[in-house]
Amino acid sequence: MTRETDIDSLFAQLRSTEPCIQDQGFSTRVLAELEQKAGLAFFKDALITMLFTLIGCLLSYAFFPVAELVELLPNSIHISPMSLLTLGGAVALACSAAYWTLDTDRI
């Protein structure tokens, strides 16, 4: 240790001789850790989504009168040219909206 005990000049000496610490793979380790965490986060998100979807399905099955709803479905459907045209228009509109949303990165 130097004999210099004046704190300010000691720190001035340290500032002027501060070593430049070589990277030596430090940045690579940080980025690798980040990628690993991102992968884990994606896996965790997917797992949570699937789990809650499953719970939702089970709850729906338990609480909704599925059989009664199925019975309410018509046996035959009559589609007129006008309703087909309306349906086509609605699908085209939905597709355009989805494309615009993805293209402008709104999600």
Name the residues that contact other proteins, by CB under 8 A.
1-3, 5, 7-8, 10-11, 13-15, 17-23, 26-27, 29-31, 33-35, 37
Nearer to other proteins, 17 or 76 (CB): 17
Shortest distance in whole angstroms from residue 21 CB to other proteins:
4
3-state secondary structure 4-56: CCCHHHHHHHHHHCCCCCCCCCHHHHHHHHHHHHHHHHHHHHHHHHHHHHHHH
Pick between residue 26 and residue 64 the one whose CB is nearest to other proteins: 26
Nearer to other proteins, 31 or 84 (CB): 31
Separation of alpha carbons 15 and 9, rounded Å = 10
